[in-house]
Structure 1
Amino acid sequence: MDDEQLGEELRLTVGRLVRTVRAADTMPPGEAAVLGHLDRDGPLTTADIAQRRGVSHQAAARAVRDLAGRGLVRTEAHPHDGRKLLLHLTPAGSERLAEERRRRADWLGTAITQALTPAERSALAGALPLLARLDAHLRAR
């Protein structure tokens, strides 16, 4: 298999795995993504979130509105631009995101235990740093 074929197989396989794992989510993907960005990156504006997610400002604003209505995010005036609001993850939002992440990890961990031999689990663990390096390389481009 040449590198181009390997790249295509990796893209297909990882894409299917991500979609399969997301199917078990209990939150809409847009809402989980907003909470994840706030958790990783700290306070952001709705425009920042839209840009990072690659969605329209309206789509990001809709997800933010729903999350704020449930007390999972809060807003405050932007310190440098009074026309903007900064979004913050609330403790309830942090716990909801952690719960969703735990559910995903438990579900995937169970599948790993049931579907893979100990040697295969070891090989999978060994591949994770390689995948992380590929991700870092692609992000740097």
Structure 2
Amino acid sequence: MDERGARSKARDDIDVLWDDLGAFVRRLRTKRNDHKLTPSQIQALGHLDRQGPLTAKELAKFERVTPQSIAKTVAALEEQGMVTRSSDPSDGRAVLVTMTELG
């Protein structure tokens, strides 16, 4: 296969992937009616479940978002009783986010 053909195949593969991803996201949205969590909140809980307690800064890095954005996500999760925030014992200036039993 020449370079042009390889690029064309790659574009076709990317188009198929985007279509599949779009269908997957739409399906997720229809299935999540039994709770009120946003995709960002679900993803943050997943990181906390896999990694254990994280500082807000570490969680923002995992999520690839700004500290201000993760602060909103964590505040919403805390309001729902899914996480707690406390001072990081190793750095009193940092906030440690821990998933609760409900989370």
User: Normalising TM by the smaller chain, what interval?
Assistant: 0.7 to 0.9
Query: Equivalents in 2 of 1:14, 1:57: separation in Å?
Result: 31
Query: Which blocks of at least 5 consecutive residues in structure 2 are unaligned?
Result: none
**2:40 is aligned with 1:30:** yes
The TM-score, its normalising length taken from structure 2, stands at: 0.76
Instruction: Pick from 68, 82, 96 the counterpart of residue 86 of structure 1.
Output: 96
Gaps of 5+ in 1: 94-141
What is the letter of the counterpart of residue 45 of structure 1? T
Change in Cα spacing, 1:34 to 1:79, as seen in structure 2 (3 Å) is same
SS at match of 2:93: coil
> Is the partner of 1:77 in helix, strand or coil?
strand
Distance 1:78 1:43 in 2: 10
Amino acid at match of 1:11: L
Equivalent residue letter for 2:17? R
Question: Is 1:62 the counterpart of 2:62 in the alignment?
Answer: no
The one-letter amino acid of 2:18's match is L
Instruction: Give the ranges of 4+ consecutive aligned residues of structure 1 lying more than 6 Å apart after TM superposition.
Output: none
Within the alignment, does 1:7 sit opposite 2:7 as a pair? no
Calculate percent identity across the aligned residue pairs.
28
Q: Shift in Å at residue 19 of structure 1?
A: 1.5
Aligned residues: 93
Q: TM-score, normalised by structure 1?
A: 0.58
Please tell me whether residue 20 in structure 1 is matched to residue 47 in structure 2.
no
Query: Residues 17-58 of structure 1, C-alpha deviation per residue, up to 9 Å, x if partnerless?
Result: 331123122421121111111111111111112111121211
Paired AA for residue 54 in structure 2: L
Counterparts in 2 of 1:45-124, with a 5 A limit?
Answer: 45-93=55-103
